[in-house]
Amino acid sequence: MSDHEEVLARIRQGAFYTESEASFQNGQRRADLVFEYNRTPPGEAGRRRELLEAILGSVGARTVLLPPFHAGFGSNVHIGDDFFGNVNLTFVDDVEIRIGHGVMIAPSVTLTTTGHPIHPGLREDFRRFSEPIVIEDKVWIGSNVVVLPGVRIGYGAVIGAGSVVSRDIPAMTVAVGVPCRVARPITDEDLKARTFPAA
């Protein structure tokens, strides 16, 4: 096994690795294209689409991603159809972020696949670990939410504004808080309401 393969194996296992060890992946970063996307005039929808297809690992139909957005790589992000991402969406995509169909994300949300050791003695050379994030279909994520490494958010879930999501969220639930916890299920009663009844 080559050194690169050994590092990739550790990354896939969620084990620690350093910036120097992972530097061979830097060619997959799309920083210049992200910069160009964020400076593209609103009327140039075709150019924005062309850039998104070059930046992201995959992108579905009818995708709206309002600039500015930020990505460590971009190439590790996969977005389904009918996606809406509001301004200041940040992808810390050292490993894959998979977003399903019909997902809506409000302003200033961070999806981070990467964390760092607690003990400062382990943080030299930006040592870190990475675990993929999965956001299933029809999820709505409120403003200023942070989704942490390894989290899966289930179908149709709603994440309340300002939440820090550190564990999986079941399908068809409303979840809020720091740390984010399930407040209640989503039911047919919600078809009648504009706002959420008290939990």
Catalytic member of 70, 78, 101, 116: 116
Amino acid identity for residue 52 in this structure: L
Chain center to CA of 84 = 13
What's the CA gap between 63 and 15, in Å, rounded?
33
DSSP code string of 41-78 = -TT-HHHHHHHHHHHSSEE-TT-EEPSPEEES-BTTEE
Q: Is 101 a catalytic residue?
A: no
In 3D space, the residue among 29, 18, 28, 96 whose CA is nearest the CA of residue 6 turns out to be 18
Sign of CA dihedral 149, 51, 79, 139: positive
Whether residue 138 contacts residue 155, with contact meaning beta carbons closer than 8 Å, is answered with: yes
What's the CA gap between 105 and 157, in Å, rounded?
12
DSSP 8-state assignment for residue 107: T
Active site residue ranges: 116
